[in-house]
Structure 1
Amino acid sequence: MAENIQWLLCHICQNKTRVKIRKDMEIKNFPLYCPKCKQEILIDVKDLIVTIRK
């Protein structure tokens, strides 16, 4: 089961955020905040594939 869980990475600075995702999760319009670079972006997640919303 551990292979189905991943940390979400910041798309700006490539560091780990405080959010984990699983293979069976589906997220829409999630405001992902990075504590390192202090940026926030909207993302969608489906089957461990992250897409940035504009």
Structure 2
Amino acid sequence: MLKENWILCPVCSKKTRLRIRENTILENFPLYCPKCKQETIISVKELNISVIKEPDAKTQSQ
């Protein structure tokens, strides 16, 4: 039997609508939280969730 966990939002720590198993592998996955309405890029491997920090978009100045 594979162990399952709910993915928790890294911003508000509430449950999202997704579950992961021990053998789940995600890379650069856009996780959307319906509670706080934030989107975060995550990676998952062996039930370990890591948040990927991306630089904010900068406006081009001329």
TM-score interval w.r.t. the shorter chain? over 0.9
Which residues of structure 1 form unaligned runs of 5+? none
Kindly report structure 1 stretches of 4+ aligned residues shifted beyond 6 Å. Answer: none
Aligned length: 53
Q: Pick the structure with more strand per residue.
A: 1
Which residues of structure 2 form unaligned runs of 5+? 54-62
Whichever of the two has the greater Rg, that structure is 2
Q: Pick the structure with more helix per residue.
A: 1
Cα RMSD (Å): 0.9
TM-score normalised by the chain length of structure 1: 0.93
Of all paired residues, the percent bearing the same amino acid is: 51
